[in-house]
DNA sequence: ATACTTAATTGCGATGTGCAAGTGAAATTG
DNA sequence: CAATTTCACTTGCACATCGCAATTAAGTAT
């Protein structure tokens, strides 16, 4: 909902994207939300890459300010916070998938089972499936 | 040709890619090489975003170590260095294009004329065209 | 020789990162 | 209900990186 936009270095859309998600951690958080079922703070901390808690906290704030992530208190456990991708966040899927494809081809990352093949075979269908999975979630009724 | 690979934080291919190009400048350099016809050091410096010369120098070294960029002395002017994308660098095109698409849709970047539409209409053909443009360049015969 | 261009390097203050420890609120345990 | 644990952060500090300005080395032009 918030959309704090500071002065841009340029009007190039690639640059615009990089100013929002162009760092070593933001897209890993989006990845965890999109493909690893992460919802809670501790889920991100337990990721293989080992993000520091202060970095995680500051990135989650930035991602919310950018309208990529939302948060709400966990109705089942008042201590917990549940993080979710917004529609804007979900639409980062193609970026993540192309990064994954490139990494697999040139940087010897372990190919994620099946996902990339599905993406390469039918991007449209795959995107539709991801949107459905991540956006048609039952929300707390307030 | 060099491929200095330091210890990875994880085996995830998205992470692998981000460790190589996941910063605010590397992909802008690749963009300039791919779409803006940049060849010389000063071309990158004159980009709208205003990269600092020390950052540019260190990024160019890193990109060469990662096998994304090559360099050679300018045969016409011994002071000059000519930078080029490798095949590995050219294959970052889908990443750049999807970042551009996302930025245009959600971050109000100025859409680059025609390019995105060509990409969305026929990705395969567009990629083939880019590969041809950037890789079938006459090299210095050594 | 002198001046200029090109591709960097150096110095330095400001900002960002990574690690460990601590905090406050809520839940769980006894 | 008191003590402990869990969760989501915050703080402190050492260190690395960034951004800006000035400088340098090599090559070219006059």
Query: What are the tens digits of pLDDT across the range B29-72?
Result: 999 999 999 999 999 999 999 999 999 999 999 999 999 999 99
Specify the nucleotide whose C1' lies closest to residue A55 (CA): C17
Interchain pair B109, A12: CB under 8 A: yes
Considering CB atoms only, which of A88, A91, A106 is closest to B88? A106
Interchain pair A95, B100: CB under 8 A: no
Cβ-contact B56, B50 below 8 angstroms: no
* pLDDT value of position A30: 97
Domain spans in chain B, listed from the N-terminal domain onward? 13-135
Separation of CA A53 and C1' D30 in angstroms? 62
pLDDT digits (tens, 9 = 90+) for A105-127: 998 767 777 899 999 999 999 99
Helices assigned H by DSSP within A1-142? 13-21, 26-35, 41-45, 53-65, 87-90, 93-106, 115-121, 123-135
Cut 0.75: pTM above it: yes
- Residues of chain A with pLDDT > 90, as a percent, come to 82
Judging contacts by C-beta atoms under 8 Å, the chain B residues touching residue A102 are 13, 17, 91-92, 94-95
> What mean pLDDT value characterizes chain A?
91
**How many Å lie between the alpha carbon of B30 and the closest alpha carbon of chain A?**
11
Determine if strand C comes within 7 Å of the CB of B84: no
Burial level of B121, CB count in 10 A (0-12/13-18/19+)?
Answer: exposed
Cβ-contact B68, B88 below 8 angstroms: yes
Give the bases of strand D that a protein CB approaches within 7 Å: 6-12, 18-22, 26-29
Question: For residue A19, is pLDDT > 90?
Answer: yes
Cβ-contact B34, B96 below 8 angstroms: yes
| Residue bearing the bigger pLDDT, B93 or B7 | B93
* pLDDT value of position A111: 76
CATH of B13-135, one of 3.40.50.1970, 1.10.10.10, 1.10.150.130, 1.20.1440.230: 1.10.10.10
How far apart are alpha carbons B8 and A4 in whole angstroms? 33
Question: For residue A69, is pLDDT > 80?
Answer: yes
């Amino acid at each position: 909902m918030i959309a704090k936009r500071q002065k841009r270095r340029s009007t190039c859309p690639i640059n615009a994207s990089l100013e929002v998600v162009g760092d070593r951690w933001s897209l890993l958080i989006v990845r965890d939300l999109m493909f690893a079922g992460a919802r809670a703070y501790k889920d991100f901390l337990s990721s293989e890459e080992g993000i520091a808690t202060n970095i995680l906290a500051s990135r989650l704030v930035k991602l919310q300010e950018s309208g990529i992530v939302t948060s709400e208190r966990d109705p089942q456990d008042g201590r917990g916070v549940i993080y979710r991708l917004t529609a804007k966040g979900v639409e980062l899927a193609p970026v993540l998938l192309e990064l994954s494809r490139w990494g697999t081809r040139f940087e010897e990352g372990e190919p994620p089972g099946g996902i990339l093949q599905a993406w390469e075979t039918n991007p449209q269908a795959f995107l539709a499936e991801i949107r459905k999975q991540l956006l048609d979630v039952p929300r707390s009724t307030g």
